Chain A
Amino acid sequence: MVQLASAPALVVVDMQNGFCHKQGTFAKMGMQCEPTVIVPHINELRSAARAASIPIFFLRAGFNADYSDFRGGGDDKNPLQKMRGFIRGSWDADILDELTPEPDEPIFDKTRNSAFFGTPLEKTLKERGINHLILTGVGTDVCVETTARDAFQMDFDVTTISDATGSTNEPDHLAALHALRRFGGTASTAEVIEALRKR
Chain B
Amino acid sequence: MLDLKPHPALLIIDMQNGFCHKEGIGIPTANARAIVPQIQRLRTACREHGIPVIYARYGMKPDYSDAGLEFEPEGGAEILALGGFVRGTWDTAILDELTPAPDEVVIDKNRSSMFFGTNLEAVLRDKGVDHVLVTGVASHVCVECTARDAWSHAFWTTTVRDATAASDVALHEASMKNMQCFGGTAGTEEVVEAVGRLKTRS
Judge whether A178 and B112 touch: CB under 8 Å.
no
Judge whether B148 and A182 touch: CB under 8 Å.
no
Instruction: Tell me whether chain A's interface is mostly helix, strand or loop, or mixed.
Output: helix
Q: Chain B 154-192, CB within 8 Å of chain A: the 1/0 string?
A: 100000000000000011001101100100000000000
Given contacts A153-B111, A153-B145, A155-B68, contact A178 B152 (CB under 8 A): no
B residues 52-68 in Cβ contact with A at 8 Å: 68
- By a CB distance below 8 angstroms, the chain B residues around A114 are 148, 152
Instruction: Tell me whether chain B's interface is mostly helix, strand or loop, or mixed.
Output: helix
Among candidates B68, B154, B171, B178, residue contacting A72 with C-beta atoms closer than 8 Å: B154
How near does chain B come to A25, taking the closest CB pair, in angstroms?
A: 15
Among candidates A141, A153, A157, residue contacting B112 with C-beta atoms closer than 8 Å: A153
Most B-side CB within 10 Å, residue of A114, A149, A176: A149
Among candidates A73, A149, A154, A155, residue contacting B148 with C-beta atoms closer than 8 Å: A149
- By a CB distance below 8 angstroms, the chain B residues around A113 are 148, 151-152
Q: Chain A 60-97, CB within 8 Å of chain B: the 1/0 string?
A: 00000000000111000000000000000000000000
A175 contacts B by Cβ under 8 Å: yes
Judge whether B74 and A179 touch: CB under 8 Å.
no
- By a CB distance below 8 angstroms, the chain B residues around A178 are 170-171, 174
Judge whether A182 and B140 touch: CB under 8 Å.
yes
Judge whether A181 and B73 touch: CB under 8 Å.
yes
- By a CB distance below 8 angstroms, the chain B residues around A183 are 73
B residues 105-148 in Cβ contact with A at 8 Å: 111-113, 116, 140-141, 144-145, 148
B82 contacts A by Cβ under 8 Å: no
Distance in angstroms between the alpha carbons of A154 and B111 in the assembled complex: 9
Judge whether A175 and B174 touch: CB under 8 Å.
yes
Judge whether A112 and B74 touch: CB under 8 Å.
no
B101 contacts A by Cβ under 8 Å: no
Q: Which residue of A lies closest to B173 (CB)?
A: A175
Distance in angstroms between the alpha carbons of A175 and B176 in the assembled complex: 11
- By a CB distance below 8 angstroms, the chain B residues around A154 are 68
Q: Which residue of A lies closest to B145 (CB)?
A: A149
Judge whether B174 and A179 touch: CB under 8 Å.
yes
Q: Which residue of A lies closest to B178 (CB)?
A: A141
How near does chain A come to B63, taking the closest CB pair, in angstroms?
A: 16
Q: Which residue of B lies closest to A157 (CB)?
A: B69
Among candidates B74, B111, B181, residue contacting A181 with C-beta atoms closer than 8 Å: B74
Judge whether A153 and B68 touch: CB under 8 Å.
yes
How near does chain B come to A54, taking the closest CB pair, in angstroms?
A: 20
Distance in angstroms between the alpha carbons of A99 and B68 in the assembled complex: 34
- By a CB distance below 8 angstroms, the chain B residues around A117 are 152
Judge whether A172 and B175 touch: CB under 8 Å.
no
Judge whether A71 and B152 touch: CB under 8 Å.
yes
Distance in angstroms between the alpha carbons of A72 and B154 in the assembled complex: 5
How near does chain B come to A134, taking the closest CB pair, in angstroms?
A: 16
- By a CB distance below 8 angstroms, the chain A residues around B181 are 141-142
Given contacts A152-B69, A153-B68, A153-B113, contact A175 B148 (CB under 8 A): no
Among candidates B141, B154, B178, residue contacting A182 with C-beta atoms closer than 8 Å: B141
- Give 13 pairs: A residue, B residue, CB < 8 Å, sorted on A: A72-B154, A113-B152, A117-B152, A146-B148, A149-B145, A152-B69, A153-B112, A153-B145, A155-B69, A157-B69, A179-B178, A181-B74, A182-B141
Interface residues of A (CB under 8 A from B): 71-73, 112-114, 117, 141-142, 145-146, 149, 152-155, 157, 172, 175-176, 178-179, 181-184
